[in-house]
Structure 1
Amino acid sequence: MIEIERKFLVNSMAFKAEAHKSYAIKQGFLNSAKERTVRVRLKDEAGFLTVKGQSTANGLSRFEWEKSISTAEAEALLALCEPGIIDKVRYEVICGKHVYEIDEFFGDNEGLVVAEVELNAENESYTKPAWLGEEVTGDLKYYNSILSKTPYKLWSI
């Protein structure tokens, strides 16, 4: 139940040609406090409820618990979420022994593309594809819970 991941900006859309899977995601937050977030997600036609704890100081690890819920339950809970629903398409790219999840954001976060890779240990090595840009692991502004409140379109204002 501990999630270990690294997060990166993406420097080109070349990942789309390498993706073996993609799906639409709509998500909101019932609670977006930094100590714990409670997320509701619709991933295509599947619903999920996720609780995440506060990240470690380096931003690499945090508690995560997720449960499948029905589409109807997810839609009902999304209606109760805090303002700032996240709309994105997720692409999955296999690179070495890992799967990168690349999120292309839309709506108020359009223009932002972020990649994550989950690891089994904080010091685990991983292959970096050519389209992978600057590492932003631990930078709170790239957390979806923060993007829901302070979207990418407002960053340059």
Structure 2
Amino acid sequence: MAKPVLSDRLARWYLQFQQFEIIYVPAKAVKGQILADFLADHPIPAEWELTDELPDEEVFMVESPWSMYFDGAAHRDGAGAGVVFYTLEADVLPYSFTLTRRCSNNVAEYQALILGLETAVDMKQLHLRVYGDSKLVVNQLLGIYDVKKPELIPYYKYQDNSWDIWIVSL
């Protein structure tokens, strides 16, 4: 109803509802209210003993790995690659590279991935969650697609067994 110009249907409804005093209050805490409603509907019996000790406390100590986002692009004037790392401390580490040879977009994507992984090794970060927006590169690395173009085979085979990476498509 806050629009400057209302359509015919909205205008008719607006005129109908003007006779009532309607106050709209948005529900802001719906997610938090669900837990409170559940606890109110299912109270803990009085005979239950609550404890502060967690039997599987080590489960909560698992640190998630760093995240790496890579992207490559090629055009007629050259090619480039970009890599962004997100650390456990929520730091953002951006890197950009200029590729010296002309190449296809897929080769630029693979080079961005390899440059990012080599940078991670230099930073001694061998556990990564890797994200890429190239459907071809990600699906080839996951084994969903076969590598058919001969120029992509060396990039696909480039790997280091010390890396512990999870490839994810954006």
Q: TM > 0.5 between the two?
A: no
Larger strand proportion of the pair: 1
TM bin, normalised by shorter chain, reads: under 0.3
> Which one scores higher on RCO, CA 8 angstroms, separation ≥ 6?
1
Larger helix proportion of the pair: 2
